[in-house]
Chain A
Amino acid sequence: MSQKRKEDPSEFSPLARLFLWADDPVKVNRMVYGLYAVCVLLFLADFVYLKTILVSAERIPGFYAIYGFVMCAALVICARMMRVVLKRPDRYYAPRDVESEPHPAADLDRIEHNG
């Protein structure tokens, strides 16, 4: 497939063009700042409604936010460490495994966009 040719965005469907910001680092940055802003607002939202406390940890302001962030970061860092021990080349179980096999063409229909 032609990798680096200059593309004309009008080749894509109008729906796809709505997401072209994903290729623009400036706009992606803006989205990330937007995410930060939403997170701040959600954290603050904790102070404006009446909580129903079922578990005592819920008394901590922003408990769900802190828990979500910390646990997800821990999850990724742990998984990264697991990879050091568990990672093997993709031919490790070959030939008794599909991992290193190409998917058979008979099961596919590979067509290029506008192809």
Chain B
Amino acid sequence: MADIFPVAFLYFLGAALLLLLPKGPARGSLGLLIPVLGGIMVWFLPEGLLWNVRFLGLELEFMRVDKLSRVFAVIFSIAAFLGNLYAWHVRDTMQQVAAMIYAGSAIGALFAGDLITLFLFWEGTAMASVFLIWARRTEGAYHTGMRYLIVQVGSGVLLLAGAALYHRETGSLTFEAMTLGSLATWFIFLAFGIKAAFPLLHNWLQDAYPAATVTGTVILSTFTTKLAIYALARGFAGTELLIYIGAIMTLFPIFYAVIENDLRRVLAYSLNNQLGFMVVGIGIGTELALNGAVAHAFAHILYKGLLFMSMGAVLFRTGTAKGSELGGLYKTMPLTMIFCVVGAASISGFPLFSGFVTKSLVLSASTKEQYYFIWFVLLFASAGVFHHSGIKIPYFAFFAHDSGLRPKEAPKHMLLAMGIAAALSIAIGVYPAPLYALLPFEVKYVNYTTPHVVTQLQLLFFSALAFAVLMRTHTYPPELKSVNLDTDWAYRRFLPRMINRVAPGLWSVWTAKLNFWQERFNDLVRSLHHTHGPEGRLASVWPTGSMVLWIAVLLAVTLVANFLSL
């Protein structure tokens, strides 16, 4: 019974209504209204199971609300609002509808109480989001979108297979805490892992996000990966393996981010790194660690969206987001620069910015549970993220060498969206209590202590010092027009090449074998025709009665079979 109208359907309704409205402010306003209404609904939803349906003998739980799903739904609503505000100028129906269905599906998945409902919305996010990449409408974007879709749908198929096996094992489809062990739980774990961009499963993210449109990337950056973080937090909290997976996730992307030229791809790598912190938190699984993972996801959506927005604005005005082509933009895009710096300070965890009060929960949990090695890794990753997201992004886009580009400041609606995201990032950093109140567990953590502030400042300022020294000694790798090989090389280059090399050989063996057996078959038919055909010697002596005899035999066999089966 439905006690409440599901929030996801509000977005789907919005997507349908968009088509009825003329392009322009009316559609833009609806794009803002739906997340506001959705956000209000989410805020006031009572906890518990609010809507379940019996379908094909399965109990589907469309609306199960608790603190964990609510906090994610709140930030998804804010992100949908900011994304649509940022995309106010867009007149492309495909993108507008896709963004609406994408946000709706992601929120729907948060409230899914069972694995089948989760699967439906999970695939919804995949199907809708790919249009934000295809909306670029170039050959490269088409192929990139295809790769993205194959990976995303692959994740969905694994989830469905896992759900089916899980149902056979336990007789239940409820989406709740699971223990890794059976094939079913491994399938589900991998399905989540693909969307959370686990190491080696990650490259769809860096491949696809920079290929989307200016606004598409901003919207993409919010939902898919954080939905996976939510799913891991609900399904696999306390799974120790996640600690090590997360630690690797925080590490390897920062090396790529240093040498990557496309600044939107640098952000995609740092997104991957930030997901690592959340995955470590989920792996540790204590109340403090889970609070840290969720709080960090919340703050991350805002500052990462902000950073993508600022690079999007640069791309929007200059036609490129490549570090090698940019520089000196602060002169004509100072507001975008300042917002970018706020995002950079937040992701780096400067005191008074959001990353400081959220990331520290995870780091603190790692020492509390005596994962000291992990703590060293996370500390390195924190310094590294400051290096490439905190310094590199603003420096190469807005300062560095003067590119001579003098673009106009970003349009007002983009500035407004960036301004709100920046203000929220600072607000969380200055006064985290309201965010802490939303978290699944009570927070008893004090952020602003002298040691915490001083040590964090030491870490960051000495990272900046390293940057300054490396720049002045010309050791820092310059921004170069290039691509860097990542794991996607295996399926974009190596496997196709191998197939191309092996296929002709296999094909010739196949056709030779086929020809051989075809010849044998033809010989057989020819000899049968020769002996039994109309002109055949044996055919001439067949009595008509032999056919009647065989029919009689057939009848007898049928009767015996019938008799025996009785």
Contact = CB atoms under 8 A, between A and B. Distances in A.
Nearest to A15: B334
A2 to B, nearest CB: 7
A104 B320 CA distance: 10
Contacts of A63: 455
A44 B14 CA distance: 58
A78 B318 CA distance: 32
A108 B255 contact: no
Interface string A29-61: 000100110110011011001111011011000
Given A12-B332, A45-B454, A87 B480 contact: yes
B492 interface: yes
B458 A64 contact: yes
B407 A111 contact: yes
Contact of B466 (A16, A72, A102): A72
Contact of B462 (A68, A86, A94, A104): A68
B405 interface: yes
Contacts of B138: 98, 101, 104
A93 B493 contact: yes
A83 B256 CA distance: 9
A75 B255 contact: yes
Nearest to A77: B475
Interface residues of B, number: 87
A78 B255 contact: yes
Interface string B466-477: 111110100111
Contacts of B476: 76
B383 A67 contact: yes
Nearest to B480: A87
A52 B455 CA distance: 11
Interface in B342-397: 367-368, 372, 375-376, 379-380, 383-384, 387
Contact of B334 (A16, A38, A43): A16
Contacts of B461: 35, 38-39, 42, 65, 68
Contacts of A75: 254-255, 258, 380, 383-384, 387
A27 interface: no
Contacts of A108: 214, 315-317, 319
Nearest to A89: B482
Nearest to A95: B139
Interface in B430-468: 449-451, 454-468
Interface in A90-115: 90, 92-115
B225 interface: no
B335 to A, nearest CB: 7
Given A22-B399, A69-B463, A76-B475, A98 B136 contact: yes
B211 interface: yes
A96 B139 contact: yes
Interface string A1-38: 11110000000110110111011000000001001101
Chain B binding surface, main DSSP class: helix
A66 B317 CA distance: 40
A107 B213 CA distance: 7
Contact of B375 (A18, A35, A55, A99): A55
A42 B464 CA distance: 13
Nearest to B315: A103
A12 B328 CA distance: 12
Nearest to B337: A19
B30 to A, nearest CB: 21
Contact of A96 (B140, B256, B404): B140
Nearest to A28: B399
B330 interface: yes
B136 A79 contact: no
A15 B326 CA distance: 20
Contact of A88 (B258, B404, B451, B485): B485
Nearest to B147: A96
Contacts of A94: 140
B459 A68 contact: yes
B537 interface: no
Contacts of A73: 466, 469-470
A85 B465 CA distance: 27
A96 B137 CA distance: 13
A54 B372 CA distance: 9
A80 B472 contact: no
A104 B214 CA distance: 10
Contact of B484 (A1, A42, A87, A109): A87
Contacts of B89: 109
Nearest 9 pairs of A and B residues by beta carbon: A79-B258, A72-B466, A113-B332, A96-B143, A98-B140, A68-B462, A3-B404, A64-B458, A16-B334
Interface of B: 89, 135-141, 143-144, 210-211, 213-214, 254-256, 258-259, 261-262, 315-320, 328, 330-332, 334-335, 337-338, 367-368, 372, 375-376, 379-380, 383-384, 387, 399, 402, 404-409, 411, 449-451, 454-470, 472, 475-477, 480-486, 492-493
8 contacts: A16-B331, A42-B458, A49-B454, A57-B376, A71-B380, A75-B255, A101-B139, A110-B318
Given A85-B485, A108-B319, 9 more contacts: A12-B334, A54-B368, A68-B383, A68-B458, A72-B467, A76-B476, A79-B255, A89-B483, A96-B143
